[in-house]
Structure 1
Amino acid sequence: MKAFVVRGPGDAGVEDVPEPAPAAGEVLIQVRRAGVCGTDVEFFTGHMQYLHDGHASYPIRLGHEWMGVVTAVGDGVDPVWVGRRVTGDTMLGCGRCYRCLDGRHHVCEFRTELGIRNGRPGALAERLAYPAAYLHPLPDSVDDAAGALVEPAGNALRSVRAAGLRPGDRALVLGAGTIGLLAAMFARAAGAEVHVMGRSGRSLGFARSLGFEDAWTDETLPELPWDAVIDASNAPHLPALALDLVEPGRRVVYVGLAGSPSAIDTRTLVLKDVTAVGILGGSQGLDGAIEAFANGSVDPRPLVAAVLPLDELAPVLDGVRPEGAGPGPKVHVALPGD
């Protein structure tokens, strides 16, 4: 079958690889749609921290935002899955350790991460072998484009839940990328007044087109009381700014990751009696994201700027915006059968 392989920094393309077969407890999935993420770009450039920590190595097959159709099952898997449209968790725990048994498989020390960590091949391929225990069915009301956005949406929904927002609260989202805009959508659906801070006129203009009229740069951000601040950026100075901006006794949520260490002053954290929450992965938010997409309270599809075939992906990872792309931040790959 065809799969997208990153062979080393700046070296990637479509290759013929062996057809996967579902092991016991796994299913075989015909991938129909997969998203491209900043993590994929970091693997392409060689900057991804897992490469330096020993959790990943080249060659690597990327793809952790996806949806597809189950075509076969391995031993021990209910055949009712065959023919179902599905997506799945990125974080795949060992299932035996204290963290997994405590419902925290996403931080299992022995976890694999699809297309990211410990060698589990990703979904930027025609077919995918995947553990049935981590599948999430997609209703017909969630189309393929939305289905491939469930994974980042799970991160965003967890961030909004962690912010502890109440109807009428004022929330500030730092970062107008995919997760930032999804967080803004979920916060709005929760009844909050949502403001977005970004860097470029293009991204802020797109945020306004989604109904977020209160879209600012750091220079134009008004002095208002912020009941929650969600940092969905990759800027190393913004975690400290989030702490400075949030109202005393409220919450800051960190879901973005900078390429270099970020510092916050814990004296500020203590003296303002602020709760700070870190978010890794969308695991506990996936079902909620699917539900929101299905009932129409959140529509992520405008975020998709372009849909490409697999063999046109490499330039995107190298920073080339596809010709004719719309204003959104997300690029999708359509696989055969989409």
Structure 2
Amino acid sequence: MRALVFTGPGKAEVWRVPEPEAAAGQVVIEVERVGICGTDVELFTGAMSYLRTGRSSYPLRPGHEWAGTVVAAGPGADPAWIGRRVTGDTMVACGQCRRCRGGRHHVCARMREIGIADGLPGALAERIAFPVAYLKPLPDDMDATAGAMVEPGGNALRAVEAAAVAPGERLLVLGTGTIGLLAAMFARARGAEVHLLGLHPEALIGDLGFDHGWTRDTLPALAWDGVIDATTGAGMPALALALVEPGRRIVHIGLSSTPSTIDTRDMVLKDVTAVGILGASAGLEGAVTAYAKKDVDPRPLVAATVTLEEISGVLAGRRPPRAGPGPKIHVDPRRDQDTRPRR
């Protein structure tokens, strides 16, 4: 079968690799759609910290935002999964340690990340093998585009829940990328007054029905009951702390390439709670539910769907021809470069 492989910094190739086989407790999934995110870009460019610590290495098979259909079940896996449409948790843990038993499997010391860390090939391929313990079923009427947005949606939902902003209160989201926009959509669905700060906030937020988009220069002096930092700017965590109301919360879900610093004296004297968000695990089911109920529709964020052969250009920063304004690019691994479906 065909699969995308990162062979070194700035190098991506489509390889013919062996078909996956379902081991004990696993299923095989035909992949219908995969999202490209900032982590994939960092793995492609070589900027990802895991490449320096040895957690990841080349050659690497990426892809962790995905949706597909189960086509085979291995020993110990319920054959009723066959034919089900699914997505899955990126964080695959040991299941036995203190953290796993305490509901924190996403920070298990032996946790593996599909398509990111060594050991679990990613979903940018025609098919993948995946453990049933980490599958998440999708409604039959949820299309592949929405299904592949469950993973980023789970991250965004966790950030909104961590911000603890009640209906009618005011939330400021720093960043208008995929996670920032999804966080804004989930917060709006829960009744918050949502404001977004970005470099060019007018590019998409009006189409999404948001009335409050600002830049650093135009941001009004309002009371912010919660602030989510979904940017990669090293100075943004300090800005979030400066803006948030005393006694409230700032949530950090973006990562900068250089260290971010804040003055903890300001945090203490404002009695602010800071929360870091890693992974979508605890938010996956909530994201599926919100999409199924149409409370949140993530599909307008997807600008284009490309083939495996076209990904290198996307990862290098080139937008596909005729791409829409959204920040997310999807891949259909079933298609050749001429876009005809493969059989």
TM-score > 0.5, shorter chain as reference: yes
Return 94-103 or 224-233, whichever deviates more.
Answer: 94-103
1:29-108 aligned at under 5 Å gives the runs: 29-108=29-108
1:179-328 aligned at under 5 Å gives the runs: 179-200=179-200, 203-328=201-326
In structure 2, distance between residues paired with 1:135 and 1:147? 12
Q: Which amino acid aligns with 1:190?
A: R
Contact 1:64 1:123 in 2 (8 A): yes
Q: CA deviation at 1:103?
A: 0.8
Contact 2:60 2:118 in 1 (8 A): no
Q: CA deviation at 1:7?
A: 0.2
Q: Which amino acid aligns with 1:301?
A: R
SS at match of 1:142: coil
Contact 2:93 2:100 in 1 (8 A): yes
Contact 1:155 1:179 in 2 (8 A): yes
Displacement over 4 Å in runs of 4+ = none
Return 60-69 or 328-337, whichever deviates more.
Answer: 328-337
Contact 1:61 1:115 in 2 (8 A): yes
Uncovered stretches (5+) of structure 2, i.e. residues with no partner: 336-340
Uncovered stretches (5+) of structure 1, i.e. residues with no partner: none
In structure 2, distance between residues paired with 1:146 and 1:130? 20
Counterpart in 1 of 2:110?
A: 110
Q: CA deviation at 1:264?
A: 0.8
Deviations 1:158-208 (A, max 9, x none): 0000011101010000000000000000000110000000013xx532012
Q: Which amino acid aligns with 2:38?
A: G
In structure 1, distance between residues paired with 2:110 and 2:227? 32
Q: Which amino acid aligns with 2:158?
A: R
Contact 1:6 1:58 in 2 (8 A): yes
SS at match of 2:268: helix
SS at match of 1:61: coil
Q: Which amino acid aligns with 1:147?
A: G
Q: CA deviation at 1:81?
A: 0.2
In structure 2, distance between residues paired with 1:258 and 1:128? 31
Q: CA deviation at 1:254?
A: 0.4
Q: CA deviation at 1:218?
A: 0.8
In structure 2, distance between residues paired with 1:101 and 1:209? 43
Contact 1:35 1:64 in 2 (8 A): yes
Contact 2:23 2:75 in 1 (8 A): yes
Counterpart in 2 of 1:334?
A: 332
Q: CA deviation at 1:331?
A: 0.3
In structure 2, distance between residues paired with 1:32 and 1:144? 6
Number of residue-to-residue matches in the alignment: 336
Q: Which amino acid aligns with 2:71?
A: T
1:146-157 aligned at under 5 Å gives the runs: 146-157=146-157
1:153-164 aligned at under 5 Å gives the runs: 153-164=153-164
Contact 2:303 2:326 in 1 (8 A): yes
Q: CA deviation at 1:11?
A: 0.9
Counterpart in 2 of 1:9?
A: 9
SS at match of 1:80: helix
Contact 1:41 1:317 in 2 (8 A): yes
